Amino acid sequence: MTFAVDQSMHWTDHYVEYGFAVVKGVVGPEFIDPALAEVCRLLDHENLPLKQWTKENTPTRSPVPISEFKVCNTIYDQPGIRRIIDIMFGSPDQWNGQRAWQLFVTPYDTNAKAELSKGGHIDFVETPIPTFGSGFMFQVSLVKSEPFSGNITILPGTHKLVQMELAKHPEIFFPSNPFFNNIFDVEPFEFVAEPGDVLLFHHLVGHSGNNNHAANRSPRIALHCQGLRKEWMKEIDPSAKGLSPWQRSLAFTGGPHRLKRDEEQWIMEYQKTRKTKPKVAAY
């Protein structure tokens, strides 16, 4: 069994409550078709049917710099994407304009099982974890995906647990702190998508990558993007009027909360001094 989206909720409320939301058909074929053609060309798969993409012949990351993707680089110019960013931040003036995205491909794996990964992670491995941060993540599917085709899975509601723990203990690290031992043991949501569907997820919600053993052997192909705000938030009052969906997802039920330090500066300074590079996301 997997977690099902509550269709009675507006997607912004679903994001606040569960740490993720799915918005259907955000991007149309006028972008999807040439973007997928560009991916095929740059992966040297122009003449290879999608069902023949395998772990042996297909890279999971682009073999060329992202700057060579002329079509995919326009993802942030798509009206539906900009509308989502504006709604999440409550204003068209809050996005910082950064076009931060990666290509994620999960080709068929003959040796994989048709199952989802156990547990999950957050994207802050042995590094300071921002209580508020500066934005949210979103994935745009370029293809129709199937169950067990390497889709990302989200662990609903776990963002609240992490937030509340950070409010009390802001210096905990993942995964070494015992707090993280069991919190991701929840029913997962698998992002099975149509072309142009968008998944949004909270920076603190647990999630996981999966192997591809789909019945129809099709690959998962998605653009993994960040929606980043101009300013990092330093405090919040849940009772304040006019909070954006992004702010509401960071509003603790225990009342107003103010950070004890400048998280942005803290993280930047830590990254300068750490001896090992943070692990690369694979989902």
Query: 45, 219 in Cβ contact below 8 A?
Result: no
Domains of the chain: 15-271 (2.60.120.620)
Surface-to-core class of residue 180, CB atoms within 10 Å of its CB (0-12 exposed, 13-18 middle, 19+ buried): buried
- Residue 275's pLDDT is 64
| Per-residue pLDDT tens digits of the chain, which is 283 residues long | 689 999 999 999 999 999 999 999 999 999 999 999 999 999 999 999 999 999 999 988 778 888 899 999 999 999 999 999 999 999 999 999 999 999 999 999 999 999 999 989 999 998 999 999 999 999 999 999 999 999 999 999 999 999 999 999 999 999 999 999 999 999 999 999 999 999 999 999 999 999 999 999 999 999 999 999 999 999 999 999 999 999 999 998 778 999 988 998 998 888 888 766 555 454 5
- Phi first, then psi, for residue 209 (nearest 5°) are -90, 160
**Could you tell me the two tokens for 47?**
């003449």
- Residue 281's pLDDT is 52
d(C-alpha 68, C-alpha 85), whole Å: 24
What pTM did the predictor assign? 0.94
Residue type, 126: E
- Residue 51's pLDDT is 95
- Residue 31's pLDDT is 98
Look up tokens 């999608």; give the residue: 50
The SS3 assignment for 46 reads: coil
d(C-alpha 158, C-alpha 20), whole Å: 10
Residues of the chain by 3-state class (helix, strand, coil), percent to 5: 25, 20, 55
Query: 145, 153 in Cβ contact below 8 A?
Result: no
Q: Over the stretch 188-221, which tens digit does the pLDDT of each residue have?
A: 999 999 999 999 999 999 999 999 999 999 999 9
Residue type, 205: V
- Rg (alpha carbons) of the chain, rounded to whole number: 19
- Residue 183's pLDDT is 94
Q: Over the stretch 86-110, which tens digit does the pLDDT of each residue have?
A: 999 999 999 999 999 999 999 999 9
Surface-to-core class of residue 276, CB atoms within 10 Å of its CB (0-12 exposed, 13-18 middle, 19+ buried): exposed
With left for phi above 0 and alpha for psi between -120 and 50, is residue 87 left, alpha or beta? alpha
**Could you tell me the two tokens for 78?**
């798509």
The answer to whether the peptide bond before residue 175 is cis (omega within 30 degrees of 0) is yes
The SS3 assignment for 104 reads: strand
Find the angle CA(66)-CA(209)-CA(58) to the nearest 5 degrees.
50
